[in-house]
């Protein structure tokens, strides 16, 4: 199998699993208990929190809260801020956020909040000027994702936070860091960003664990009320093995950052160049720079994305399309639509996302096989006249 869907989820790193195992068997004590048996799990949580502090580039472990996933981190940040600032009823976000952010804001829109959704250009880059125009003194929250899950495009969140704080100091800034974590360095210490959410399973920890960085002066309400865990901000007995897992995964991500920025990028660029060179109806859906190093989004004109995925799957390649199957009909991705990707490529867009476990052999196999698949699929496409014109235009 060739796994190129690492933006959906990643394999658990073997060392992460090894570190977790003792806490899934012998070391099962509740970390809040008083006896000696509880000391090891309690210390393991402290150690994991310190690793997450370094991963975020935060100042103090107290700025780190463990959650169950990226979606929970977003909900805790957004709902927490809005609950504490009830008089502010305006929010700014983007058209290309993940549904865990967009659907949370839809909920607030129904409650009477005014939300501005900032657009992106054809390369998927945020319209910063539009954001500047929309910022108001009663803006409770500005939330912009660090990197987009479908395109990998990086948004200038540090500059955005800087601008927001200098023009409306009380506005809070939430950054969905789920697709940036482990792919590009994150260092919140030097920024004005108030909160960043991440999800363990996107950087080789298991599913079911996430984290939220919160600047010390930010007031939030808990999403889960109950015991004293996570300093009263997220009740529930701690998921010790998974907390250990995300801590270890964060440590490994920091160690592997250079590899990510050079080797993973090299393989991504090779894959991209290989496909664009050999497939006449392929187009890159983004610009070439300003992206996380592991992601490429390629539109195959006049062919159906789901058919491509099935053919890839038949030969053991896992990738993903931008479409979401909603009530039986295939809706093109909201991200690609916001970018204005032409209709001809919208339905045939495929995301390939690599990881540090992707090999040269994997990439060579994909580069070799995509033209074969595309040859088959263009032959059965109902758009033969258009494909012929495209061939002529491209001189093939």
Question: Which residues of the chain form contacts with ligand PLP (CB under 6 A)?
Answer: 69-71, 98, 100, 145, 149, 176, 178-179, 199, 210
For ligand PLP, the nearest residue by Cβ is 70
Closest contact distance (angstroms) between CB of 176 and ligand PLP is: 5
> Distance (Å, rounded) from C-alpha 158 to C-alpha 164?
10
> Distance (Å, rounded) from C-alpha 32 to C-alpha 54?
24
Nearest to 52 by CA among 159, 193, 209, 207: 209
Which CB, 71 or 256, lies closer to ligand PLP? 71
For residue 187 the two structure tokens come to 């260092």
Beta-carbon contacts of residue 198 (< 8 Å; ≥ 6 apart): 56, 70, 73, 177, 178, 181, 210, 211, 212, 213
> Distance (Å, rounded) from C-alpha 260 to C-alpha 266?
9
Please give the C-alpha separations between residue 345 and each of 263, 303, 342, 385, in angstroms, as whole numbers: 29, 8, 6, 16
Helices (H), 315-359: 334-339, 343-346
Closest contact distance (angstroms) between CB of 334 and ligand PLP is: 13
Q: How many CA atoms lie within 13 A of 104 on its CB side?
A: 25
Task: Report, as residue numbers or ranges, the catalytic residues.
Answer: 325
Which CB, 199 or 333, lies closer to ligand PLP? 199
Closest contact distance (angstroms) between CB of 319 and ligand PLP is: 15
Dihedrals phi, psi of 278, to nearest 5 degrees: -100, -10
Helices (H), the chain: 14-20, 39-56, 70-84, 99-110, 128-134, 157-167, 240-255, 257-259, 265-278, 305-314, 334-339, 343-346, 360-379, 384-394
> Distance (Å, rounded) from C-alpha 232 to C-alpha 199?
21
Which CB, 81 or 292, lies closer to ligand PLP? 292
Burial 359-369 (b: 16+ CB within 10 A, else e): eeebbeebbeb
Q: Is 111 exposed, middle or buried (0-12, 13-18, 19+ CB in 10 A)?
A: exposed
Which CB, 10 or 179, lies closer to ligand PLP? 179
Which CB, 149 or 323, lies closer to ligand PLP? 149
Which CB, 74 or 377, lies closer to ligand PLP? 74
Closest contact distance (angstroms) between CB of 78 and ligand PLP is: 12
Which CB, 8 or 38, lies closer to ligand PLP? 8
Closest contact distance (angstroms) between CB of 391 and ligand PLP is: 36
Dihedrals phi, psi of 22, to nearest 5 degrees: -55, -30
Closest contact distance (angstroms) between CB of 200 and ligand PLP is: 8
Closest contact distance (angstroms) between CB of 286 and ligand PLP is: 15
């Amino acid at each position: 199998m060739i796994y190129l869907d690492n933006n959906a989820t990643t394999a658990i790193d073997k060392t992460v699993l090894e570190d977790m195992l003792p806490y899934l068997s012998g070391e099962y004590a509740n970390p809040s208990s008083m006896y000696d048996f509880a000391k090891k799990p309690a210390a393991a949580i402290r150690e994991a929190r310190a690793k997450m502090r370094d991963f975020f580039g935060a100042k103090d472990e107290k700025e780190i809260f463990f959650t169950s996933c990226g979606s929970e981190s977003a909900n805790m940040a957004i709902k927490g801020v809005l609950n504490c600032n009830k008089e502010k009823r305006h929010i700014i976000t983007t058209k290309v956020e993940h549904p865990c952010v967009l659907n949370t804001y839809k909920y607030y829109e129904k409650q009477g909040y005014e939300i501005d959704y900032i657009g992106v250009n054809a390369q998927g880059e945020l319209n910063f000027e539009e954001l500047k125009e929309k910022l108001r003194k009663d803006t409770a929250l500005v939330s912009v994702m660090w990197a987009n899950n479908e395109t990998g495009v990086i948004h200038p969140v540090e500059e955005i936070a800087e601008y927001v704080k200098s023009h409306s100091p009380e506005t809070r800034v939430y950054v969905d860091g789920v697709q940036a974590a482990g792919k590009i360095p994150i260092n919140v210490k030097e920024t004005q960003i108030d909160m960043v959410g991440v999800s363990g399973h996107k950087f080789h920890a298991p599913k079911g664990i996430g984290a939220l960085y919160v600047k010390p002066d930010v007031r939030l309400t808990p999403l889960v009320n109950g015991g004293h865990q996570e300093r009263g901000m997220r009740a529930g007995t701690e998921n010790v093995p998974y907390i250990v897992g995300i801590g270890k995964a964060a440590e490994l991500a920091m160690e592997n950052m250079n590899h990510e920025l050079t080797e993973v990028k090299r393989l991504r660029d090779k894959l991209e160049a290989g496909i664009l060179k050999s497939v006449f109806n392929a187009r890159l859906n983004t610009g070439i720079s300003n992206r996380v190093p592991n992601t490429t989004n390629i539109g195959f004109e006049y062919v159906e994305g789901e058919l491509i995925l099935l053919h890839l799957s038949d030969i053991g390649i896992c990738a993903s399309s931008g479409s979401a199957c909603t009530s039986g009909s295939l809706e093109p991705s909201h991200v690609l639509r916001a970018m204005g990707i032409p209709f001809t490529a919208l339905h045939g867009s495929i995301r390939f996302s690599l990881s540090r476990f992707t090999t040269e052999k994997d990439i060579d196999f994909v580069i070799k096989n995509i033209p074969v698949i595309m040859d088959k699929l263009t032959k059965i496409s109902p758009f033969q006249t258009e494909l012929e014109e495209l061939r002529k235009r491209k001189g093939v």
